[in-house]
Amino acid sequence: MAQKTALIVYAHQSPGSFNAAVRDVAQQELAAQGFRVLVSDLYAANFRAESTQDDVIGGLKKPELFQYGEETMHAWMEGRLSDDIVAEQRKVEEAELVIFQFPLYWFSVPAIMKGWMDRVLTQGFAFSLEKIYNNGVFKEKKAMLSFTTGAMKSMFQPDGINGDINIALWPLQNGTLHFCGFQVLAPQIFWSPAHCPSSVRTTMLDGWRARVKGLLAERPLTFAPCELFDLSFQGGFLLLPKVREERESRPYGITTGHHLGKPLPPDNQVKAQQGSDPPDDRK
């Protein structure tokens, strides 16, 4: 059997950080399972976060009005993307599993990791109008977020001061990872390790190590499949009327993002939902 490959996209400035320890545990455990583990250490590599014309080698298609998405799509098609982007895209192509490891900054990823997403996941390479969500380019691959927080867990509950963590995770997990087709595994959240005693941090790492052992066997999170929508400009990419009607009797909306005026499905973005609809089910 061919060796499997995992990619860890890592964003922390300090090699002595808890994030570094989490990265090392994943790297060690995946290697022990026979994986070839690639690590993109974004700060160490001085990865450029800005999306600029420098990402395109050669002339622009429309120099009078630079449109980053269009120009990088053509550059990808013609083999004219900058070397740092191409190197990262090759890693993604090779990987069956991608783990994003980072500290939560302002309810999102650090700027350098956002820059990786903006620059590496170019149109054509990571998505097209015809290849999005469960029909996406990376539908055979798995990805997940693994991150630390400064806040304690209770602060991210629905009645906590920061609000429901499920809502904070929706743009990253659905709007970036699932949009590109990834099967998204439940996030690994390390709540406030900087304010925990060392024994608790050790327990966190032990739990992570145990999870990594069975990571690829986990059930992915549930998202609204494309088959529920009218995928045309005329139909506005809206939920099909028949589907909306069938969903009226359900107590919750489909997902965190598609709540349909109903209560949010509990923990839809942090736990795989047992008994949830398979991707092609409209019942």
End of a domain among 168, 190, 220? 220
Question: What is the pLDDT at residue 2?
Answer: 81
127-173 pLDDT tens trace: 998 999 999 999 999 999 999 999 999 999 999 999 999 999 999 99
Confidence (pTM): 0.94
| Per-residue pLDDT tens digits for 61-107 | 999 999 999 999 999 999 999 999 999 999 999 999 999 999 999 99
Q: Please report, for the domain that includes residue 199, its CATH number.
A: 3.40.50.360
Q: Are 206 and 273 found together in one domain?
A: no
Q: Please, are residues 127 and 176 in contact by the beta-carbon 8 Å criterion?
A: no
**Total domains, the chain:** 2
191 and 270 share a domain?
A: no
Q: pLDDT band for position 273 (50/70/90)?
A: confident
pLDDT cut 90: percent of the chain above it: 93
Three-point CA angle 199, 10, 122, nearest 5°: 150
Backbone angles phi, psi at 39, to 5 degrees: -125, 125
Burial label, 242 (beta-carbon count in 10 A; 0-12, 13-18, 19+): exposed
CA distance 12 to 183: 25
Residues 172 and 46 in one domain: yes
Q: Of the candidates 147, 145, 148, which has an alpha carbon nearest to the alpha carbon of residue 195?
A: 148
Q: DSSP 3-state assignment of 116?
A: helix
Same domain, 231 and 205: no
Domain that holds residue 227: 222-283
Beta bridge partners of 189: 147
Alpha-carbon span 13 to 98, nearest angstrom: 20
With residue 203 as reference, give the H or E element that holds it: helix 198-213
